[in-house]
Amino acid sequence: HLSEHHGDGSPGARLRVMMRGVEEFHREISAKTYRYMRPGLEKTPWGTLETGAIDPFGTIIRFCERIDGQS
Protein backbone atom coordinates (compact mmCIF):
# COMPACT_ATOMS: atom_id res chain seq x y z
CA HIS A 1 0.00 0.00 0.00
CA LEU A 2 1.11 3.57 -0.53
CA SER A 3 -0.05 4.97 2.80
CA GLU A 4 -2.45 4.26 5.62
CA HIS A 5 -2.88 7.98 6.42
CA HIS A 6 -6.31 9.45 5.71
CA GLY A 7 -6.32 11.59 2.58
CA ASP A 8 -3.03 10.28 1.13
CA GLY A 9 -4.84 8.09 -1.35
CA SER A 10 -8.12 6.36 -1.78
CA PRO A 11 -9.14 2.83 -2.73
CA GLY A 12 -8.87 2.47 -6.48
CA ALA A 13 -5.99 4.94 -6.79
CA ARG A 14 -3.64 4.00 -9.64
CA LEU A 15 0.13 4.00 -9.79
CA ARG A 16 2.35 3.28 -12.81
CA VAL A 17 5.87 1.98 -12.20
CA MET A 18 8.21 2.16 -15.19
CA MET A 19 10.78 -0.64 -15.02
CA ARG A 20 12.81 -3.14 -17.00
CA GLY A 21 12.09 -6.86 -16.93
CA VAL A 22 8.27 -6.79 -16.80
CA GLU A 23 8.00 -10.15 -18.57
CA GLU A 24 10.35 -11.82 -16.07
CA PHE A 25 8.53 -10.15 -13.15
CA HIS A 26 5.21 -11.41 -14.54
CA ARG A 27 6.59 -14.97 -14.77
CA GLU A 28 7.82 -14.76 -11.18
CA ILE A 29 4.53 -13.56 -9.67
CA SER A 30 2.48 -15.91 -11.87
CA ALA A 31 4.47 -18.88 -10.54
CA LYS A 32 3.14 -18.16 -7.04
CA THR A 33 0.02 -20.08 -6.10
CA TYR A 34 -1.88 -17.10 -4.71
CA ARG A 35 -5.36 -17.49 -6.17
CA TYR A 36 -6.40 -13.87 -5.68
CA MET A 37 -3.67 -12.41 -7.88
CA ARG A 38 -3.36 -13.89 -11.36
CA PRO A 39 -2.24 -10.88 -13.41
CA GLY A 40 -2.14 -10.86 -17.16
CA LEU A 41 0.57 -9.48 -19.42
CA GLU A 42 -0.58 -6.86 -21.91
CA LYS A 43 0.99 -5.11 -24.90
CA THR A 44 -0.64 -1.70 -25.01
CA PRO A 45 -1.39 0.48 -28.06
CA TRP A 46 0.93 3.14 -26.61
CA GLY A 47 3.98 0.86 -26.77
CA THR A 48 4.37 -0.66 -23.33
CA LEU A 49 4.31 -4.16 -21.90
CA GLU A 50 2.33 -4.16 -18.62
CA THR A 51 1.25 -6.33 -15.73
CA GLY A 52 -0.42 -5.30 -12.52
CA ALA A 53 -1.36 -5.94 -8.93
CA ILE A 54 -3.74 -4.56 -6.33
CA ASP A 55 -2.38 -3.85 -2.86
CA PRO A 56 -4.35 -4.66 0.32
CA PHE A 57 -5.75 -1.10 0.42
CA GLY A 58 -7.10 -1.22 -3.13
CA THR A 59 -4.33 0.68 -4.91
CA ILE A 60 -3.94 -0.54 -8.50
CA ILE A 61 -0.25 -0.80 -9.38
CA ARG A 62 0.76 -1.21 -13.05
CA PHE A 63 4.32 -2.34 -13.79
CA CYS A 64 5.27 -1.04 -17.24
CA GLU A 65 8.16 -1.39 -19.67
CA ARG A 66 8.57 0.45 -22.96
CA ILE A 67 8.68 -2.00 -25.88
CA ASP A 68 11.81 -1.57 -28.04
CA GLY A 69 11.15 0.28 -31.26
CA GLN A 70 7.98 1.95 -29.93
CA SER A 71 7.76 5.66 -29.27
16 forms beta bridges with 62
Q: How confident is the model at residue 58 (pLDDT cuts 50, 70, 90)?
A: confident
Q: How far apart are CA 55 and CA 59, in angstroms?
A: 5
Q: In 13-50, which positions are buried (b, 16+ CB within 10 angstroms) versus exposed (e)?
A: beeeeeeeebeebbeeeeeeeeeeeebeeeeeeeebbb
pLDDT tens per residue, range 11-40: 778 899 999 999 999 999 889 888 777 889
Residue 70 confidence (pLDDT) above 80: no
Whole-prediction pTM value?
0.78
Decide if 49 contacts 27 (C-beta within 8 A). Answer: no
| Residue-level pLDDT at 12 | 77
| Residue-level pLDDT at 54 | 86
Region 14-66: CATH code? 3.10.180.10
